[in-house]
């Protein structure tokens, strides 16, 4: 059931990366321009699509004009398939089709497809180009931009990966029409993140226009996607490899990633785990005296408004703390923890204790 949306004006955002600048093109009808954009960016001659079975079944016909191959590479998506086994399947397909260094991988799917196809592209022949066509809200507002690629290890989230920026990103809200409600909501938690760390007007917009947003009205969704992409583009252009500023994008992710690992990547959508993670970060900030209690209350009520989150009452804090200890954000033994100081502003704490995290987990409802 594909609905028609009249063409909207496309937004084009530039991203700077060490490997070369690239464009993010956003708006209703952006997919129609994919072949022309690929040609204009010199992305060819061969283009191999990597997508998921589900996404291809729903949207494959929109993309047949973007590939030079008869069949796309289709793998399973969902968090529990984001691993080296699935990356190996993409490698196998690239080898079998004699992909060479000029071949371009076109990743069409959610954040899982983007991360694993990006990592396959980063590692095949020591790196071939990748283009992202994100099909979930989460991927459109966040994961398609910035070049982080990789997969999970059973003991920790995204522990295996590389920075491999795309050569082009094309985000069209039309594909979000088929997104299950829960997946759409999962993307909204990342929008809340951008509101807290950078642009409070996103928080206001979420609160006041939620019905139009959850109805996937392109006129309500496209500006949100564009606003988030602008923030992400600015941040990763200034700090591609996360040596400073980019850490703000990890707001809510320390506890979020640990919740995902502690439940073996089966219970939470990534965005849902970030929803809990943001509340944990805010409550630590409040106890520390760096976060205004009013901000905690505002985000708690917005998160509740977005919908139910999976239960956490049966998850032990000990398991989550063990996962946090393996987090990539631990630098020289110190956990870099992003805390909010006001709407749109953050600070990094490097001395958050296990006890403080344990208290925050208790506030979320985890067992000791």
Q: Taking CB under 6 A as the criterion, which residues in 237-296 touch ligand NAD?
A: 269-271
Find which of ligand NAD, ligand GLY, none residue 112 binds, CB within 5 to 8 Å per kind.
ligand NAD
Query: Which entry of 246, 247, 269, 343 is annotated as an active-site residue?
Result: 246
The DSSP line for 236-255 is HHH-TT-SSGGGGGGTTHHH
Find which of ligand NAD, ligand GLY, none residue 132 binds, CB within 5 to 8 Å per kind.
none
Q: How far is the CB of 268 from ligand NAD (least distance, A)?
A: 10
Beta carbons of 305 and 210 less than 8 angstroms apart: yes
Stretch that binds ligand GLY, among 34-42, 242-250, 297-305, 347-355 (CB under 6 A): 242-250
Kindly list the strands in the beta sheet with 73-75, ordered across the sheet, starting from the edge strand earlier in the chain.
Answer: 11-15, 22-26, 168-171, 129-134, 104-109, 47-52, 73-75
Q: Is 57 a catalytic residue?
A: no
Smaller CB separation from ligand NAD, 52 or 283:
52
The pair of three-digit structure tokens given for residue 10, joined into one six-digit string: 């496309």
140 binds ligand NAD (CB under 6 A): no
Residues in Cβ contact with 360 at an 8 Å cutoff, skipping those fewer than 6 apart: 255, 280, 281, 283, 284, 287
Query: Which entry of 89, 185, 232, 269 is annotated as an active-site residue?
Result: 232
68 binds ligand NAD (CB under 6 A): no
Q: Is 157 a catalytic residue?
A: no
Identify the residue among 15, 186, 235, 338 touching ligand NAD (CB under 6 A).
Answer: 186
Measure the CA angle with vertex 80, ends 59 and 227; round to 5°: 55
Smaller CB separation from ligand NAD, 112 or 286:
112
The pair of three-digit structure tokens given for residue 309, joined into one six-digit string: 């989150």
Cα 85 to Cα 122, 162, 262, 328, distances in angstroms: 16, 17, 20, 22
Q: Is 148 a catalytic residue?
A: yes
Residues recognised as catalytic = 126, 148, 190, 232, 242, 246, 250, 253, 257, 270
């Amino acid at each position: 059931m594909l609905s028609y949306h009249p063409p909207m004006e496309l937004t084009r955002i530039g991203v700077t990366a060490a490997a070369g600048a690239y464009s993010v093109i956003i708006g209703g009808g952006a997919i129609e321009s994919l072949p022309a954009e690929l040609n204009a960016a010199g992305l060819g001659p061969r283009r191999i699509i990597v997508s998921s079975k589900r996404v291809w079944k729903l949207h494959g016909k929109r993309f047949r004009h973007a590939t030079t191959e008869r069949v796309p590479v289709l793998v399973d998506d969902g968090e529990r398939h984001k691993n080296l086994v699935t990356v190996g399947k993409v490698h196998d397909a690239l080898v079998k089709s004699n992909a060479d260094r000029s071949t371009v991988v076109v990743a069409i799917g959610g954040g899982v497809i983007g991360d694993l196809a990006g990592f396959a592209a980063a590692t095949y022949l020591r790196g071939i180009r990748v283009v992202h066509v994100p099909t979930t809200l989460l991927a459109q507002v966040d994961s398609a931009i910035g070049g982080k690629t990789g997969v999970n290890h059973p003991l920790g989230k995204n522990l295996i990966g590389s920075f491999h920026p795309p050569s082009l990103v094309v985000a069209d809200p039309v594909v979000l029409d088929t997104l299950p409600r829960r997946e759409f909501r999962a993307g909204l938690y990342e929008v809340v993140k951008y509101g807290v760390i950078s642009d409070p007007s996103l928080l206001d917009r979420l609160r006041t226009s939620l019905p139009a947003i959850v109805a996937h009205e392109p006129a309500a969704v496209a500006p949100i996607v564009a606003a988030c992409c602008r923030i992400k583009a600015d941040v990763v252009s200034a700090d591609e490899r996360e040596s400073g500023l980019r850490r703000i994008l990890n707001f809510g992710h320390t506890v979020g990633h640990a919740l995902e690992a502690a439940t073996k990547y089966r219970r939470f959508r990534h965005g849902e785990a970030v929803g809990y993670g943001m509340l944990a970060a805010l409550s630590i900030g409040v106890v520390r005296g760096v976060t205004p209690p009013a901000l905690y209350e505002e985000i708690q009520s917005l998160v509740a408004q977005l919908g139910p989150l999976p239960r956490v009452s049966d998850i032990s804090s000990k398991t989550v703390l063990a996962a946090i200890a393996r987090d990539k954000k631990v630098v020289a033994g110190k956990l870099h923890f992003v805390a909010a100081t006001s709407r749109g502003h953050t600070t990094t704490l490097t001395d958050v204790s296990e006890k403080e995290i344990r208290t925050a987990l208790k506030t979320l409802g985890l067992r000791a």
